Structures are given as C-alpha cells and as structure tokens.
Amino acid sequence: MKVLIRGGRLIDPKNDLDGKFDILINDTTIEKVDKNIRETSDTIQVIDATGHIIAPGFIDIHAHLREPGYEYKETIKTGTMAAAKGGFTTIVCMANTSPVNDNKSVTEFIREKARSEGACRVLSCGAITRSLKGEELSEIGEMYEAGIVALSDDGKSVKDAGLLRKAMEYSKLFRLPVISHCEDESLAKGYVHEGLSSLINGLEATPSIAEEIIVERDIALAQYVEAFIHLTHISTAGSVEIIGRSKKKYKKVTCDTCPHYFTLTDEATLGFDTNTKVNPPLRSKKDLEAIREGLRNGVIDIIATDHAPHESTSKDVEFNIASSGISGFETALALSLKLVHDNVLTLKELIEKFTVNPAKLLNLPYGGIAAGKPADLIIFNIDIEWTVDRETFLSKGKNTPFHGWKLKGKNLLTMVDGKIVYRDTKAIKG
C-alpha cells in the first residue's frame, strides 16, 4: 500500500528542507521526497496537504503514561491516542509508574503494551535509583537491553550527589543521557512559586532557587565526570542564565521547557484553580520572558510536554493536597505555535525543538523525513482557530488550565511507521 502526500509545505530541519514537496510512502517507510511526484496506481492513497505544513513527527521526551499502576489516570492506549492527536509520533514515558520502571520487566511490559495497543511509538525512561528512592542504582544495563533511552528519577532530584555522580559515570557505558528533575527538596516545600501571587494567596511557596541550585549542581557534576546531562522542564530565569553560561564551556548540556512555562505565570494560581498546580510551579512574568528568550536564542533546545494526566478526584480537592500536573499532549502544538505567531521562533526553529533536537539527545533514528527512513510525519495548520474543550481530550486526564482558551494552529494528521494513526476528518479528506 502506497500513500502520496501532495501539495503541502514540508519543513524538515534535519534534512534542511523547506518548500513544496510531495512525499511518497511505501508501507512503513518513506520511498521518495521530491517536487511533483507523479505516481499512478489504482491502489495509491492520495492525501491533499495543500495549505498545510508537513513536518517530521514530533518527539516528546517527557511524558507520564501512568501504566502500569495508575490506569485510572491514563493508559498506554489512551495516552498514545492523545499524543498522536497532538502531533507526536514518539514519546518517552517517565519511570514513576507503580511498580516503578527500575527493572527490565517493567521496561519490557511497557514496550510490549505499547507495541500491541499504542497509537504511537513509546520509548521509556528508566529510573536512576531503585523505587525512585535515591538510595541505590537501578539495574541500568538490564533496562538498557530492554530498550530504555534515558535515565531519570523525574518527580524528584537525586538528593545524594555522590550517587548521582555514580549514575552519570555508569550510564556512559550505554551512552544513556541522564535527565535531571531539578528541585532541592529542603527549599521546595511549597505548592506554588514564591512570588507576588503566593504573597497574596498565602499558599506555601517554592522559590526559583530550589531549581537553580540543582541545575548548577548537576551541570557541575556532569562536567566533572564528562557525562551527558539533560535538564528537564526548566522554569526559571536563573536556570536559563546558568545553562546558557555553562553551555559555553561544556558541550554536553541540553535542556527543555514545557508550553505552560512560556504561556502562564503564577498569577494563574490566584484563583486556587488546581489545574494550575504543576511541578515546577508556574513562575513569574520575568521567568516566563526569560524562558521565551532562552527558546529564541537556543539555550533551550527542546520543548517537552510533561504530559501529566490525573483523574478528576485528585484535582477536585483543596489546592495543597491536589495532584500536580497538566494534561499536555493535546494543547502543546497550538501553545507552542504562539511563539511563532509572536515572532519568538521561526516555524523551522520550533519544529527543530520538537524533532531533530530530541532525536539527537536520545540517539534516535527519527525526527527527519528522508527516503529509506521510517514514515513518521505530521500534517498541521498554523492558522486554524479552535477552542480547547477538555471533554474532547482523548487523554483520560482532563486536567488542563487551558480549557476554554482560543488557540491558533492544529495538528491534522499523524502518521507513524506509514500508518495514519490520527486524522482530522474535516480538514484532511481521503
């Protein structure tokens, strides 16, 4: 079975393509990328992408799929359906499931479950320490054999610097990057950012330095042992400054941020809406502007979702005891396109942060559209306006602070390994 996508504007930063190209897909792989492909056959499926953008499928290096253990929040099936709808063809799930992904049987379970039920490709991130307790190393080599692509104790920092050092050294054996969740526990006692809003609403608050101290520490450690370090969901101006400065003298540092950190500030928490509770917390206007500037000048390499779905009962409680997190797959693209509409990023730069950059970090063969490569691609429109309605989310997690927001830009079709896994039937016929 062949598919021909014609008429669209292809933007593929990895292969330095930007222009009107047709794409011919044969079974699971790209057969040809060229101007005006004339392929005549009765069985070929033709997709008209006129007026739309074609890009390599997006890669999300930071998501929570909740399976095994928290299937009432999300499953691999619903999570990947939501991801596919959002334009992601490859997602990396964090280890904080139950049981924790700290051994090869959990890694294998996720892999097999994703293979049979997943709408898109799922790769997993193994825990740095057993049970995420920060006390002893997980069986990193065995998990590597089972397919993990990175290591992280996401949800907390590895408090013991000596142990983190060992993890960084040991993971070099497999070229696995360590992904750091940066948060000093002793300073991060709060539920919101320590700033003007916490002063007013009286919620216990966490200062920016809780993140920055660990950003500084983890980069210093990585540099000392010459390991790769990736700092995830960066949220403060100080972190951007530290990372920008460090990158000049040490090349193995990368970082990501999430759409909510360049869209919302701590002001959103003033009404005690628990959908605005996220970790790290929504920061100040100054931080938001620094994050946007970091994206613009390239200090921030990647945009990740930190998709963190929750069932309504864990959000329908007092702010202090509500779960942290935002269901992010289905709004990430449109929120990020705002950066393009606001002239912070070019469309090409935005696509880089969702495709080639994450692929490079994790040594993945995806993130580009070229003959012979897996046919992972998306078709999206940058101008279509739509209103976020959490009830239409494919994710089980309806926890979004963006419900009712009018956004511009929408994913219309997602193809993974040559298979169309999501299609906006109104916009894309065929």
Partner 1 sequence: MNWGKKDLLGISELSKEEILFILDSTESFKDISKRDIKKVPTLRGKTVITLFYEPSTRTRTSFEIAAKRLSADTINISADTSSYIKGETLKDTARNLESMNPDAIIIRHTMPGAPHMLARIIGSSVINGGDGAHEHPTQALLDLYTIREKKGQLDGLKIVIVGDIAHSRVARSNIFALRHFDTEIVCSGPPTMLPPHIETLGVKREYDLNKAVRNADVIMMLRIQKERGGTSFIPSTREYSTLFGLKKEHIEKAKQDVIIMHPGPMNRGIEISDEVADGPHSVILDQVENGVAVRMAVLYLLIGRES
- Residues contributing to the site for partner 1 (CB under 8 A): 194-196, 198-204, 207, 271-272, 313, 316-321
> Which of 101/269 has CB closer to partner 1?
269
Minimum CB separation of residue 285 from partner 1 in Å reads: 13
For residues 119 and 114, what is the distance between their CA atoms, to the nearest angstrom?
Answer: 8
> Which of 86/195 has CB closer to partner 1?
195
For residues 280 and 325, what is the distance between their CA atoms, to the nearest angstrom?
Answer: 9
Minimum CB separation of residue 266 from partner 1 in Å reads: 12
For residues 425 and 430, what is the distance between their CA atoms, to the nearest angstrom?
Answer: 8
User: In the structure encoding, which two tokens stand for residue 290, read together?
Assistant: 């620094």
| Residue 22 bears catalytic tag | no
Closest CA to 180 of 146, 205, 217: 217
> Which of 16/318 has CB closer to partner 1?
318
> Which of 194/216 has CB closer to partner 1?
194
Minimum CB separation of residue 397 from partner 1 in Å reads: 18
> Which of 200/371 has CB closer to partner 1?
200
For residues 229 and 252, what is the distance between their CA atoms, to the nearest angstrom?
Answer: 6
For residues 103 and 193, what is the distance between their CA atoms, to the nearest angstrom?
Answer: 34
**β-strand pairing of 45-48 with 2-6:** parallel
For residues 360 and 356, what is the distance between their CA atoms, to the nearest angstrom?
Answer: 6
Minimum CB separation of residue 271 from partner 1 in Å reads: 7
Side chain identity at 334, as an amino acid letter?
A
> Which of 125/188 has CB closer to partner 1?
188
Minimum CB separation of residue 268 from partner 1 in Å reads: 13
What are residue 306's phi and psi, to 5 degrees? 50, 40
Task: Classify 256 as helix, strand or coil.
Answer: strand
Residue of 306, 316, 417, 424 marked active site: 306
Residue 275: which residues within 8 A CB-CB, separation 6 or more? 315, 326, 399, 400, 401, 403
Q: Which helix (H) or strand (E) holds 359?
A: helix 356-361
Closest CA to 214 of 183, 174, 177: 183
Query: Order of strands, edge to edge, in the sheet holding 45-48?
Result: 29-34, 22-26, 2-6, 45-48
Task: Classify 352 as helix, strand or coil.
Answer: helix
Minimum CB separation of residue 263 from partner 1 in Å reads: 22
Residues serving a catalytic function are: 306
